[in-house]
Amino acid sequence: MKTMRELRMDGKRVFIRADLNVPLTKDGRVANSHRIEQSIATIRQVITSGGRAIVASHLGRPKGEVVESLRLAPVGDKLSNLLHCPVRCLTDCVGPEIEKAVDESAWGSVTLLENLRFHKEETDNDPEFGAALARLADVYVNDAFGCSHRAHASIVRLCERMPSAPGLLLQKEIETFDKILTDPKRPFAAVLGGAKVADKIPVISNLLGKVDTIIIGGGMAYTFLKAKGIEIGSSLLEADLVDTCNRLLEDATTRGVSILLPVDHIATKELAVDAEIEVQGPGIKTGWMGADIGPETTKRYSAELAKAQTVVWNGPMGVFEILPFAGGSRGVADAISESSAYSVVGGGDTAAAVEKFGYGESMNHISTGGGASLELLSGIELPGIAALRRGEGAAAGGPL
């Protein structure tokens, strides 16, 4: 797979698939520009190399229809401010008028296409839509790690038809996950949380052959506890996966991998700021549910993390958005930041928790893609990365 620096971009139209799917305020302004900021280096690389940057992204879920509140104009304004140069926002992403506008753009300029998902052909991975996008460019750069687990037209079709490479952000994500999954410093600890154990079973199955310790929290912990015969009250339970959790625990023992489960919990009867709470454990009383790991569990997990040399964390330890149930996630974030481990934080809720508690600068890498990072940890090659590896000429008709 070529790197972006190996592509010739001077005098070329460069299609950059970015992930600019950011939250907007009620009055249509960008509420959080983190994802836009992460794309700046790649865009700047194109324009300083003398290419035309043709930037494409989706925003929200318009489901193949034009939704006025999901137009990319506010993103274009923020992008212009961050790049310190004009960004021309187009009203569509394909068609003769768009091709003409792109061809008329100046070298070193930035053009932002309209929301890709205004066309259902994008999420359908339609080859003709991919060909229409490809007509806008000479070179393709995928910098949208957070979308690369989706086989969508803008992710997989263009690199079939022209020289292609990952952008600087995607390249960093690939290198980071390759580093921890193929050559980690040991001890290697994985911290897994979140609501559903179903989401993490492929991750656990893959990591059992790679890590020394798996630390489990969040709602997913209660199905594991149920598998061990521990009472969980009315906590989250995926009853059909109890046997699967048992098999994973047995497999871990066979492989010599430690799986740590909560020994106490912040229990409540309702998820509210002013809710009654109790520290309960190891079991939970009838009518109560676990909403966070307890203080003894946080202490034990922190001690384990202090010994690690590599840590990957995907999924919060509790309902961190509500103050009484944020202590476990905060404690884990603090332990990782204080350790000497190389630390990788999965995207989504985990990244949000780390940033909320002020530990963003303490982590070695915070991934920009929750779902994408989860699939990489599961051992799945992302469609976007696989397409880059196959490269130009993979289309049935060859390059355009």
Catalytic residues: 35, 196, 348, 371
Pairing of strands 265-268, 277-280: antiparallel
Q: How far apart are CA 348 and CA 218, in angstroms?
A: 15
- 102-106 long-range Cβ contacts below 8 angstroms, 24+ apart: 102/13, 102/52, 102/54, 102/136, 102/137, 103/13, 105/52, 106/52
- 306: tokens are 């202090």
End-to-end CA distance of the chain: 20
**b/e 378-390 (16+ beta carbons within 10 angstroms → b):** bebebbbbbbbee
**CA within 13 Å, CB half, 347:** 17
CB-based burial of residue 273 (10 Å sphere; 0-12 exposed, 13-18 middle, 19+ buried)? exposed
Q: Which of these, 334, 281, 287, lies nearest to 306 by C-alpha position?
A: 334
User: Which residues lie below 8 Å from residue 269, measured CB to CB, with a gap of 6+?
Assistant: 275, 276, 287, 288, 289
- 85: tokens are 């140069």
What is the three-state SS of 94-145?
CCHHHHHHHHHCCCCCEEECCCHHHCHHHHCCCHHHHHHHHCCCCEEEECCH
Q: How far apart are CA 30 and CA 33, in angstroms?
A: 6
